[in-house]
């Protein structure tokens, strides 16, 4: 398999290219492109999270423990209903760091075998969807940029692992025993694969719902100023119409509008 340095070098290089393309071809801010390039580099390390006892594993866990709390701190504070004063934020960040650095690596060491489901296409998609969901931005294009960066980095790792499992020394390339263990769709054990696919299915559902592709429109749209304005301007005429006209009207509405509680309070 490729070494830690080779993985980081390769995914980092891809990240630089990705960042440059994002700025000069797609008009993203240079700072956004820099973060994207960095995330591509980190994505290239993620699959080796499954070997937390080795030096690369420790390095990756330290880095993950430092980066993840910064991204998630807003969600955690909101979810736990904590105040946002400096000390609470600092203590929460520290707590998250230790939980990931030591708790997380201990858990992974108990549960995972190297080159298990962490080295797989489903794991790559899970990482991409997690980035999309948790990246703190309201702009769809920025979320997609970051999620794409992690995907590229992650894929580069799997790709490099496969390249290294081909022996190029002889006249005919020989496949080593490890061939096919990185770029795979399922592992040798049922449990981890089933867990990975269950998680992938759940994450995909949440992601598609968040993007407004399936289910009711995302909450963000409902709370946005423009959304409120159109709703408000549509609502008043509804209240003034006669009760005979209502059944016909409501039949033509989408299920989301039908469950809109305030509209029925005046009846
Ligand atoms: Zn690997």
Domain that residue 34 falls in: 4-51+114-220
Expressed in angstroms and rounded, the spacing between residue 182 Cα and the centre of ligand 1 is 7
CA-CA distance, 203 to 208, in Å (whole number)? 8
Q: Which residues are in the CB-under-5-Å shell of ion ligand 1? A: 47-48, 161
In-domain check, residue 158: yes
In-domain check, residue 124: yes
In-domain check, residue 188: yes
pLDDT in tens, the chain (267 residues): 577 888 889 999 999 999 999 999 999 999 999 999 999 998 998 888 877 777 777 877 888 888 888 888 888 888 888 888 999 999 999 999 999 888 888 887 777 776 777 888 899 999 999 999 988 888 999 999 999 999 999 999 999 988 887 766 666 666 676 666 777 776 667 777 788 888 888 889 888 888 888 776 555 554 445 444 444 444 444 444 444 444 444 445 555 544 544 544 444
Expressed in angstroms and rounded, the spacing between residue 7 Cα and the centre of ligand 1 is 8
In-domain check, residue 228: no
- For the stretch 105-109, contacts whose Cβ atoms lie closer than 8 Å and that sit 24 or more positions apart, written own/partner, are 105/52, 105/53, 105/57, 105/58, 105/61, 106/52, 108/49, 108/50, 108/52, 109/52, 109/53
| pTM exceeding the 0.75 threshold for the entire prediction | no
In-domain check, residue 66: no
Number of domains in the chain: 1
In-domain check, residue 250: no
In-domain check, residue 123: yes
In-domain check, residue 24: yes
């Amino acid at each position: 398999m490729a070494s830690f340095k080779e993985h980081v070098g390769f995914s980092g290089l891809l990240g630089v290219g990705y960042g440059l393309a994002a700025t000069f071809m797609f008009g993203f801010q240079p700072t956004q492109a820099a973060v994207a390039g960095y995330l591509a580099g980190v994505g290239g390390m993620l699959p080796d999270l499954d070997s937390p006892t080795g030096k690369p594993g420790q390095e990756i866990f330290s880095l993950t423990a430092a980066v993840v709390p910064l991204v998630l701190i807003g969600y955690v504070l909101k979810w736990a209903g904590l105040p946002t004063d400096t000390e609470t934020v600092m203590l929460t960040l520290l707590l998250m760091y230790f939980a990931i650095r030591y708790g997380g690596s201990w858990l992974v060491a108990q549960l995972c075998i190297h080159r298990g489901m962490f080295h797989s296409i489903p794991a790559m998609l899970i990482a991409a969807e997690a980035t999309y969901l948790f990246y703190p931005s309201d702009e769809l294009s920025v979320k997609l940029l970051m999620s794409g960066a992690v995907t590229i980095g992650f894929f580069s790792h799997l790709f490099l692992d496969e390249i290294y499992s081909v022996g190029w020394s002889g006249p005919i390339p020989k496949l080593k025993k490890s061939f096919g263990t990185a770029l795979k769709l399922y592992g040798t054990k049922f449990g981890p694969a089933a867990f990975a696919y269950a998680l992938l299915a759940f994450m995909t559902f949440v992601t598609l719902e968040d993007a407004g592709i399936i289910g009711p429109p995302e909450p963000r749209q409902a709370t946005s100023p423009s959304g409120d304005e159109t709703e408000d301007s549509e609502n008043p005429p509804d209240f003034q119409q006669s009760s005979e006209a209502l059944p016909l009207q409501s039949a033509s509405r989408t299920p989301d509008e039908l469950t809109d509680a305030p509209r029925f309070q005046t009846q």
